[in-house]
């Protein structure tokens, strides 16, 4: 069942609050102003939340959690073998990748994995490595820690579907927040106060969370394991540049259109004999108008759009086809596509902003500088755009031409970046960061 709603809502959140069981895809991206709402067969579209329902649920849950924690006795216990990982463990979104990465990093602890993917409108990842799945806790788990990898914007839905025991059942709750502006939404502070420990995957996001809550924020980087090196056929004169984006995560922030303009300008600088194609991997529900706008902006340059949810094997094939990743984001909380590319020794062209700076530098990546972004998020996902930049298209275009004409130098950069990924984003680093964070709340 599918319907389109034109000029009736300002934000995707307003669509999902009216149709809570539906998937809402913003078609406003790249200048198109409407939303598409799709629902699974058999799901009724008539039920709605009242305007006060969600705030009321949040308030009741917050005070209930505080009351239980007030009388609860904290226990001193070991970190290992006492951890639950709660997140969008089946989701194809960035939060899903982050959750699976944490679970994989601490796999030797045999963590209990609780998936809340039913709260996410993103497609599911086939054969996600979450075999040790557990149902929600029903009573207090003595000595158990919980790592929550989701943002406060789903807190109301979490409480409605699973209840306060998703927090109260555990001795210590560690929240890992992923965010892409310098200021958190004001309503998040009260929700984050329900968690004992706060963490973020990058220094950029950690600073935003600290600024919004006034609390200590630990940095727990996403786990990115090394992948087999991608080797390119030396005689191949055709190059594939990859852009990864998600319509549900604001195409304005991802700046896909800027990457298309940079690619078109870069390809025009290539000498005769060299050709290139831009591959855009996007969300399965990306509107046709948005995809057409990318092809139109590319002009004569070759653009291929993949609007599907790929399995892990299919995604690996796409990485094997990729010669260079382009991420001209206006803001990035971590930068998982860039990290995944470097883990395979694939050259990266990225904006000098956000979480990417934590694991890349000018020796390992082609960084594109930018000016302060003074616009708004026309996709309606973010209330404001503090900390965003407008990457310079001409500089990115020059890097695209440079990569194609001097690919050996580009791969040398990327392989150095692969060594950095191995040192900074391996499972041991993630585990140590988790232990340090949990230890900061008493016990060890």
**Would you say the CATH fold of 238-424 matches that of 53-223+427-439?**
yes
pLDDT in tens, 342-355: 999 999 999 999 99
Using alpha carbons, list the distances in angstroms from residue 229 to 323, 346, 411. Answer: 12, 8, 10
Range with top average pLDDT, 48-57, 134-143, 226-235: 226-235
pLDDT in tens, 171-181: 889 999 999 99
Report the top-level CATH class of 53-223+427-439.
alpha beta
Angle at 309 between CA 303 and CA 315, to 5 degrees: 75
Asked if pLDDT for residue 131 goes beyond 50, the answer is: no
Distance, in Å, from the CA atom of 69 to the CA atom of 386, rounded to the nearest integer, reads: 34
% of the chain surpassing 90 pLDDT: 58
Quick one: pLDDT at residue 367? 98
Angle at 260 between CA 394 and CA 370, to 5 degrees: 40
Angle at 293 between CA 291 and CA 294, to 5 degrees: 65
Q: Quick one: average pLDDT of 365-384?
A: 93
Q: Are 370 and 353 a contacting pair, CB within 8 Å?
A: yes
Question: What is the separation, in whole angstroms, between the first and last Cα of the chain?
Answer: 51
Asked if pLDDT for residue 141 goes beyond 60, the answer is: no
Quick one: pLDDT at residue 185? 92
Q: Place 168 in a pLDDT band, splitting at 50, 70 and 90.
A: confident
Distance, in Å, from the CA atom of 336 to the CA atom of 98, rounded to the nearest integer, reads: 9
Distance, in Å, from the CA atom of 278 to the CA atom of 321, rounded to the nearest integer, reads: 11
Who contacts 86 (Cβ-Cβ below 8 Å, separation ≥6)?
A: 114, 116, 146, 147, 148, 149, 150, 166
Asked if pLDDT for residue 11 goes beyond 80, the answer is: no
205's enclosing H/E stretch is helix 203-213
Domain 238-424: CATH architecture, name and number where available: 3-Layer(aba) Sandwich (3.40)
Q: Quick one: average pLDDT of 99-116?
A: 90
Asked if pLDDT for residue 338 goes beyond 90, the answer is: yes
Instruction: Note the residue count of the chain.
Output: 444
Q: Where are the domains of the chain?
A: 2-38, 53-223+427-439, 238-424
Q: Are 84 and 56 a contacting pair, CB within 8 Å?
A: no
More confident residue, 198 or 61: 198
Q: Place 231 in a pLDDT band, splitting at 50, 70 and 90.
A: confident
Nearest to 432 by CA among 220, 128, 197: 220
Asked if pLDDT for residue 191 goes beyond 90, the answer is: yes
Range in 24-28, 176-180, 428-432 the model is least confident about: 24-28
Quick one: pLDDT at residue 304? 97
Phi, psi of 146 (to 5 degrees): -130, 135
45 secondary structure, DSSP code: S
Quick one: pLDDT at residue 58? 77
């Amino acid at each position: 069942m599918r319907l389109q709603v034109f000029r009736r809502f300002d934000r995707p959140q307003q669509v999902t609050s009216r149709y809570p069981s539906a998937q809402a895809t913003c078609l406003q991206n790249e200048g198109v102003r409407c939303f598409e709402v799709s629902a699974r067969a058999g799901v009724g579209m008539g039920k709605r939340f009242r305007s006060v329902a969600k705030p009321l649920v949040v308030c009741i849950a917050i005070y209930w959690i505080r009351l239980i924690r007030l009388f609860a006795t904290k226990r001193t216990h070991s970190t290992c073998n006492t951890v639950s990982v709660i997140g969008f463990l089946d989701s194809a979104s960035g939060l899903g990748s982050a959750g699976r990465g944490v679970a994989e990093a601490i796999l030797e602890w045999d963590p209990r994995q609780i998936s809340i993917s039913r709260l996410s409108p993103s497609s599911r990842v086939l054969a996600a490595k979450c075999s040790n799945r557990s149902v929600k806790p029903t009573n207090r788990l003595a000595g158990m820690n919980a790592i929550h990898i989701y943002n406060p914007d789903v807190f109301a839905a979490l409480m409605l579907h699973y209840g306060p025991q998703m927090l109260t059942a555990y001795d210590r709750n560690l929240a890992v927040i992923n965010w892409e502006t310098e200021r958190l939404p004001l309503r998040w502070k009260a929700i984050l106060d329900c968690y004992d420990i706060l963490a973020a995957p990058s220094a950029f996001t950690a600073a935003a969370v600290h600024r919004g809550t006034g609390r200590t924020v630990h940095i727990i980087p996403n786990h990115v394991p090394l992948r087999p090196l991608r080797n390119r056929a030396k005689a191949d004169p055709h190059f594939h540049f990859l852009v990864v984006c998600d319509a549900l995560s604001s195409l304005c922030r991802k700046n896909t259109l800027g990457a298309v303009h940079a690619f078109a300008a870069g390809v025009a600088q290539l000498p005769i004999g060299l050709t290139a194609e831009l591959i855009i991997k996007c969300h399965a529900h990306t509107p046709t108008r948005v995809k057409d706008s990318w092809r139109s902006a590319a002009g004569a340059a070759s653009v291929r759009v993949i609007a599907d949810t790929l399995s892990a094997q299919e995604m690996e094939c796409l990485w094997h086809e990729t010669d260079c990743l382009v991420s001209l984001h206006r803001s990035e909380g971590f930068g998982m596509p860039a990290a995944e590319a470097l883990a395979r020794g694939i050259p990266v062209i990225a904006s000098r902003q956000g979480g990417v700076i934590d694991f890349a530098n000018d020796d390992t990546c082609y960084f594109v500088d930018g000016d302060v972004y003074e616009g708004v998020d026309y996709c309606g996902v973010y209330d404001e755009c503090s900390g965003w930049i407008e990457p310079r298209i001409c500089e990115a275009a020059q890097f695209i031409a440079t990569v194609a004409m001097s690919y050996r130098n580009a791969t040398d950069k990327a392989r150095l970046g692969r060594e950095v990924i191995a040192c900074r984003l391996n499972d041991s680093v993630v585990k140590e960061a988790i232990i340090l964070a949990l230890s900061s709340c008493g016990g060890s």
